[in-house]
């Protein structure tokens, strides 16, 4: 169980399947983990994980599309997740959405157009990036992504499945991972009752011990116009 932490993390890399390779994207502040599977053509799928995750959450997708569909696949770990550089608790906690957008643009701002797959908060951030005109993609897939109307109702729903969440956050001094600070809480949030607890523990071991707070809350209310997103998808309507 990763628990929660107020300090920088230096976890050993989790072993990957033989079909997946790990590399690093150099950046001005530190490297970002990049997982790759498949050939170099055709249009690659670029997977962006959500909060409390890393590139590892996409392993099954990378293997399926690269081996069964012969599609090149990439999955990136945001800073502070997986084997990417860790900025430390305070810098991670207080990152604003504009700064998160800039960091995401450093990863996605490449010449080769990809089909972008976004999940949860980063699914919302990816559309925010597109709407601002910073990047262009060939296709966009949203898997359980934060809607443009805002994520507020999701947090309201979380309160109903975990009424002690705010009390627990006070006890944990406002730590963002307080909502998922035990295996039982992780299972309640992400799994059904029949899902084996040992499998939940395996998933939990891949989770970071800290998380951003300000920029996800920046998407709690409506934050973009869908029409602006569509203009940045080059294959839209074809």
pLDDT at 155: 81
| Average pLDDT score over the chain | 85
187-204 mean pLDDT? 93
Overall domain count for the chain: 1
For residues 63 and 37, the answer to whether their CB atoms sit within 8 Å is: yes
Categorize the per-residue pLDDT at 13 as very low, low, confident or very high, splitting at 50, 70 and 90: confident
Contact 210, 175 (CB under 8 A): yes
Examine residue 175 and state whether it is found in any structural domain, yes or no: no
Do 63 and 17 meet the contact criterion of CB atoms below 8 Å apart? yes
* pLDDT value of position 141: 94
Residue 199 falls within a domain, yes or no? no
Mapped onto helix, strand or coil, the DSSP state of residue 46 is: strand
- Residue 17 clears pLDDT 60, i.e. is over it: yes
* Residue 181, in any domain of the structure: no
In a domain, residue 187? The reply is no
In a domain, 10, yes or no: no
- A 10 A CB-CB count for 115 gives 19
Residue 128 has pLDDT above 90, yes or no: no
Q: Inter-axis angle of helices 97-108 and 120-131, to 10 degrees?
A: 80
d(CA 166, CA 168): 5
The first and second tokens of residue 4, run together, are: 């929660």
pLDDT tens string 88-100: 878 887 776 555 5
15, pLDDT greater than 50: yes
Evaluate whether residue 158 is within a structural domain.
no
pLDDT tens, position by position, 108-123: 554 457 899 999 988 9
Q: Could you tell me where the beta strands, DSSP code E, fall in 93-172?
A: 115-119, 139-145
Alpha-carbon distance of 150 to 91, in angstroms, equals 24
Q: Classify strands 32-37 and 21-25 as parallel, antiparallel or unpaired.
A: antiparallel
pTM for the predicted model, two decimal places? 0.82
Q: What is the pLDDT of residue 96?
A: 63
* Domain residue limits at 222: 21-152+212-230
Alpha-carbon dihedral sign for residues 96, 102, 105, 107: negative
Q: What is the pLDDT of residue 112?
A: 52
Tokens of 221: 């209310």
Name residue, tokens 């990439």. Answer: 74
Q: Does residue 139 sit within a domain?
A: yes
Is 34 a residue whose pLDDT tops 60? yes
Angstrom distance (rounded) from CA 174 to CA 32: 26
For strands 115-119 and 21-25, give the pairing.
Answer: unpaired
Note the pLDDT tens digit of each residue in 57-109.
999 999 999 999 999 999 999 888 889 988 887 888 777 655 555 655 555 55
56 in a structural domain: yes
Return the CATH number at 144. Answer: 3.40.50.1820
Q: Which of 14-18, 49-53, 108-112, 175-179 comes out lowest in average pLDDT?
A: 108-112
H-helix or E-strand spanning residue 229: helix 226-230
- Classify the C-alpha dihedral 89-47-234-128 as positive or negative: negative
**Strand ranges (DSSP E) for the chain?**
21-25, 32-37, 45-48, 73-76, 115-119, 139-145
pLDDT digits (tens, 9 = 90+) for 196-228: 999 999 999 989 888 888 878 888 889 888 888
């Amino acid at each position: 169980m990763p628990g929660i932490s107020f300090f920088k993390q230096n976890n050993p890399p989790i072993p990957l399947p033989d079909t997946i390779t790990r590399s690093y994207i150099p950046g001005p502040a530190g490297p970002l983990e990049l997982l790759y599977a498949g050939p170099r053509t055709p249009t690659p799928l670029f997977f962006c994980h959500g909060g409390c995750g890393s590139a590892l959450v996409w392993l099954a997708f990378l293997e399926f599309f690269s081996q069964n569909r012969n599609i090149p696949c990439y999955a990136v770990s945001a800073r502070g997740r997986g084997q990417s550089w860790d900025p430390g608790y305070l810098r991670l906690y207080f990152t604003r959405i504009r700064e998160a957008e800039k960091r995401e643009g450093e990863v996605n701002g490449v010449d080769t157009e990809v089909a972008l797959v976004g999940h949860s908060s980063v699914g919302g951030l990816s559309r925010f990036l597109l709407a601002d005109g910073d990047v262009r993609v060939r296709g966009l897939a949203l898997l359980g992504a934060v809607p443009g109307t805002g994520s507020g109702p999701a947090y309201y729903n979380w309160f109903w499945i975990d009424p002690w969440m705010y009390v627990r956050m006070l006890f944990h001094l406002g730590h963002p991972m307080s909502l998922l600070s035990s295996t039982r809480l992780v299972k309640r949030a992400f799994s059904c009752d029949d899902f084996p607890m040992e499998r939940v523990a395996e998933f939990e071991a891949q989770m970071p011990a800290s998380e951003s707070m300000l920029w996800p809350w920046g998407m709690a209310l409506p934050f973009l116009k869908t029409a602006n997103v569509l203009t940045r998808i080059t294959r839209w309507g074809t």
